[in-house]
Amino acid sequence: MPTSAAEPREKSHLESVNIINALRRGTVPAGGLERIAVGLETEEGVVGSQLDYVTRGGGDVKFIRGDYGSGKTFLVARALEMARDKGFATAHVIISPSSPLHKQKGVYQQICASLRTREDEHAVKAVIDTWLFSIEERLLRVSDQPIPEESLEKATLKEIETALAGISEMNSSLAAVLRTYYRANNAGDFQTAQSAIGWICAEPNIGRELKQKAGIRGDVDESVALIFLKSLVRIIVNAGYSGLAVAVDELETVQVLPRNQREKSYNTLRLMIDMLDRGELPNCYFMFTGTPAFFESPRGVRSLLPLADRISVIEGGNYKNPRQPQIILSKFDERKLEKVAEKVIEIYGRAYTEVDRSRVSHRFIKAMIEKLTGKFGGRVDVIPRIFLKEFVDVLDKCELYDDFNPWENYRFDARTIKGELKEEEAAVMVVEF
């Protein structure tokens, strides 16, 4: 049918426009990352195999190690995209002094706040609704005769308890709030339903009224955060998803904390690794990112020997083994940047019109890279974001103006991006203004 043939083309066009728009803004695109990925085939294969293992009920972890400009952010975004394509719910946690690793409740809050699926962003409510609907569907399917609405609700409430058996015994409040959420939804009491979702996500300032209706006391705290995470994963899997994949970014910020908080953070990491290895977090995949200093400095993981032993790697020179606990990323180089530019040209052609290669030739791309790196002390690894933003601008002008000649008209003025530099970019760049 003409409609079905047009749909993939339209989807590809929209995705291409989204990618180009993100590059114009200097950000990582939200989707289609496989179309601009370069030199990550082996790493993607390893992550994909881990995700397949987790789908079958395992738990696994990977540490991503690399300097600024090595592509940690891109690989993490690509890994989460792969996970969603494989049916996972995903989350992205950013570690910072204000949201530290040793605060397990804070990590759990970020997981809930950033949870997304292929269909939904801020997906906690959608996942819970899907799970509850699947319970109702199962009850209706196994019944020999129609079930009255009141009886269906009663049976579903009982199934909520059964589904969380073993976990709810350690903390019965979650099952109580889920039952309250289900009843409120059925009654059209959306304020109570929203409060219940907020409580499950450990949001602050949830009113006393919800706790009275649910018959509970207190909130999600440090002592139960991991129990609630296990419950959330069970709900995700029972809702039909493959599991939960979580990226935990910027672990290097742990190093600036006082010693007791650093040690607590590293012990949290060790605890999570051990739980995954013991099968206590089934259907869970965690990726942690950090700079080399995080792995090697005295204030990094080396300060906790049991953790260092668990995630250490055998150095292999040119033959890196990404199946080890760490994926060690190399710095971005000129060859990779040229390949990305060629991929962007192809995507631009799908988003707009085919690029005039007589004006934007491979020779021009090489000259443009040399011009930019010359302004940044020769550091190819720190300019991909800036280069791609400039490069899309060149492609735009070539499409908009028939007489635009990039060889004659392209000028890079480092002063124009001075205010746009991220803190970590400014720290490593030698900029010639």
DSSP reduced 3-state for 429:
coil
What's residue 331's pLDDT?
A: 78
pLDDT of residue 1: 41
Q: DSSP string of 205-257? A: ---HHHHHHHT--S---TTTHHHHHHHHHHHHHHTT---EEEEEE-GGGGGGS
E strand or H helix that includes residue 22: helix 2-25
Domain boundaries, the chain: 37-98+246-328, 124-226, 334-428
Q: Are 230 and 281 in contact (CB under 8 A)?
A: yes
Res 242: pLDDT: 98
**CA quadruple 147, 152, 155, 156: dihedral sign:** positive
Predicted pLDDT at 78: 93
pTM, full prediction? 0.84
Residues in the chain: 433
Binned average pLDDT, 10 residues per bin, the chain of 433 residues? 60 90 88 86 95 98 87 90 97 92 94 96 95 89 79 86 71 88 92 95 90 91 91 94 96 93 95 94 96 93 94 83 92 86 94 94 91 71 80 95 92 59 49 36
Note the CATH number of domain 37-98+246-328: 3.40.50
Q: Are 247 and 80 in contact (CB under 8 A)?
A: yes
CB under 8 Å to 428, separation ≥6 — which residues? 68, 69, 379, 382
Rg (CA), the chain: 25
So what's the pLDDT on residue 431? 40
SS3 263: helix
What is the residue whose two structure tokens read 């409430």?
A: 157
Whole-number pLDDT of residue 396 = 96
Tell me the per-residue pLDDT of 13-65, one tens digit each, with 9 for 90 and over: 999 999 999 999 888 888 888 898 888 899 999 999 999 999 999 999 999 99
Residue 2 confidence (pLDDT): 47
Beta-sheet strands, E only, within 158-266: 244-249
pLDDT at 86: 97
Q: Using CA atoms, how far apart are residues 311 and 305, in angstroms rounded to an integer?
A: 10
> How far apart, in whole angstroms, are the C-alpha atoms of residue 248 and residue 287?
6
Rounded CA-CA distance 246/92 in Å is 6
pLDDT at 428 (0 to 100): 45
pLDDT of residue 255: 94
